[in-house]
Amino acid sequence: MALAFFSFAFAMAIVVLVFGLSLLAWGNQGKNKNNLPPGPPPLPIIGNLHQLGPLPHQSLWHLSRVHGTVMIVHLGRVPTVIISSKEAAREVLMTHDLDTCSRPRLAGPGRLSYNYLDIAFAPYGDYWREMRKLCIMELMSTKKVDGFRFIREEEAEALLQRIGDSAVSGSAVNLSEELLRPSAGVVSRVAFGRSFRGIGSDKGNDLVDILHEAMAMLGSFPASDFFPYFGWVIDRFSGLHRRLEENFHVLDRFYEQIIEEHLQDRKEEQEEDDIVDFLLSKYKGQTESGDGIVFTRNHIKAILMDIFIAGVDTGSILLVWTMTELVKNPRVMKKLQDEIRSRIGNKRLVTEDDLGQLQYMKLVLKESMRLHPLAVLLLPRETMRHFKLFGYDIPAGTRIHVNVWGIGRDPNLWEDPEVFYPERFENSPIDYKGQHFELLTFGCGRRGCPGMYMGMTLVELVLANLMHGFDWRLPEGTMEGDVDMEEGAGISVYKKVPLLLVPVNPSCSADR
Ligand code: HEM
């Protein structure tokens, strides 16, 4: 009894102490002499967390309409600047790129990247620079990507084959699942030298779920990110910690298997031909790389995490959103099919040589990326030094998010922003390659996406073939207006309800 009382008293003392310290720290925040950006008034301890909602990019966009396009919110104890206009995005990502190009230390990315040993979440510095250069040279350069063209075309052909079978049987295809396969196939064959095995095969663990869970964990807002001293307790109670650990272990087993298979091949003196071989050959047996970086098995696994997660899910999410918009907008789908079919004719497969002729398809993809930019808040940046932004002080160590989703729907930039209308890009120089701050699907500057060419080449090839090879219908009894547009939260925002469509061979279609 006495023991129980002392445990209770001890727990209460800790709660009071934490509460008191938080209030004290909160009070000190207000005494800051800096001219900080405006923002919604924060509550003690939780700051503005209560205003975020399940889809933070949407809540932050609505808040920015009231408080301004350079706005500060307090996520627990962490001041975070939200950028919601193309002008402010240009300042942060271009003018102040060097001031803002580090990454904050966050629980989800930290765990899945083996303590920031990857590229995407590594803080700015020599290690990040060397790894990024290495991955571009070995995997993502135009030359490398062009060299793997036959793999993309084989994967696209296999996809058409599978969809063709469904067209014959008249059954619906789950495109959210099916469109993952070409990117999974390309990434696994190009980067890992083999088709996927060992992931998605565990009972109850399918590849889509594992990837979406990883995206959710990378984009999650765990309490430990906002309450440094006691947040981990909340994460344990909420179950977030357990989810993160489970996801980490599924992925870890997969990377281990890839590494083991490569080590085995090396023993058997098989040819070195992919990035895993390259990482193993460069570092195996050494303790330090040329730049004095101690390289371990975890370093290799962290790089595999980036390639796997960034390389597989992104392209398929973009394709799913694009197919969703097309089926909701039959006029656009018909115009796109007419373009592709008139240019390509009766060829069985659209090849990469054909893609240059498909100008309307490029407009469709830009429009899809405007409304569904995947990494809706980009990856978080952290300022390395103090700088001024439109007269406001942005102190060193501030977290920054660029709300690309909001910029894509800004009525000051786009007429009827909610309408899917690819023609808005006709005769417009706006492109997604990082020079136009209205369309930042791949970010920009030092931390911009190095896999853009690799990702988009496959996306274009697959979309062109889907449109050339088939007409698409909604399942019986579903109308265009019924198509669910709900977003699933994560570092990349995906279509929450899987997209089911029925493929029809064009020769059987009543429209033709
Ligand atoms: C349609 C496909 C893709 C989209 C929309 C996309 C989007 C993005 C975005 C928005 C960022 C963050 C940029 C920033 O914070 O400024 C990023 C970073 C990154 N992406 Fe991609 N990506 C795609 C494909 C790929 C592919 C295929 C790979 C490699 C296999 C890849 C590897 C990376 C890496 C390593 C980073 C981190 C860069 C750094 O922090 O230095 N991405 N991507």
Give residue 451 CA to ligand 1 midpoint distance, Å.
6
In angstroms, what is the C-alpha Rg of the chain? 24
CB 504 within 8 A of CB 471: yes
Nearest to 377 by CA among 82, 160, 139, 140: 82
How much is the pLDDT for 219?
83
CB 103 within 8 A of CB 121: yes
Strand, coil or helix: what is 164?
A: helix
Cα pseudo-dihedral 266, 271, 277, 281, rounded to 10: 70
How much is the pLDDT for 229?
80
What H or E segment, with its residue span, contains residue 11?
helix 2-29
What residues in the chain have per-residue pLDDT under 70? 1-32, 196-205, 267-272, 282-294, 508-512
The verdict on the CB of residue 314 being under 6 Å from ligand 1 is yes
Instruction: Give the predicted TM-score (pTM) of the model.
Output: 0.90
Give residue 106 CA to ligand 1 midpoint distance, Å.
18
The verdict on the CB of residue 305 being under 6 Å from ligand 1 is no
Strand, coil or helix: what is 69?
A: coil
Q: Give me the residue label for tokens 């619906």.
A: 172
Atom of ligand 1 minimally distant from the CA of 135: 35
Atom of ligand 1 minimally distant from the CA of 380: 15
The CATH number of 32-508 is: 1.10.630.10
CB proximity list for 308: less than 8 A, separation 6 or greater: 187, 191, 251, 254, 255
Give residue 504 CA to ligand 1 midpoint distance, Å.
34
How much is the pLDDT for 7?
41
How much is the pLDDT for 190?
87
Pocket test for ligand 1, best of 113, 449, 456 (most atoms within 8 A of CB): 449
Pocket test for ligand 1, best of 442, 444, 460 (most atoms within 8 A of CB): 442
Distance CA 130, CA 124 (A): 11
How much is the pLDDT for 281?
75
Distance CA 13, CA 295 (A): 44
Distance CA 250, CA 253 (A): 5
How much is the pLDDT for 21?
46
Which residue's CA is the closest to the ligand 1 atom numbered 19?
Answer: 449
According to DSSP, residue 98 is labeled T
353, with CB counted inside 10 A (0-12, 13-18, 19+), is: exposed
How much is the pLDDT for 1?
36
Enter the tokens of residue 334.
């018909």
Bridge partners, 72 (sequence order)? 81
Give the count of alpha carbons within 13 A of 115, CB side only: 4
Query: What are the tens digits of pLDDT across the range 62-81?
Result: 999 999 999 999 998 899 99
Which residue's CA is the closest to the ligand 1 atom numbered 41?
Answer: 447
Query: What are the tens digits of pLDDT across the range 425-443?
Result: 999 999 999 899 999 999 9
What single string gives the DSSP state of each residue in 209-237?
HHHHHHHHHHT---HHHH-TTTHHHHHHH
Distance CA 353, CA 149 (A): 10
Report ipTM (2 d.p.).
0.99
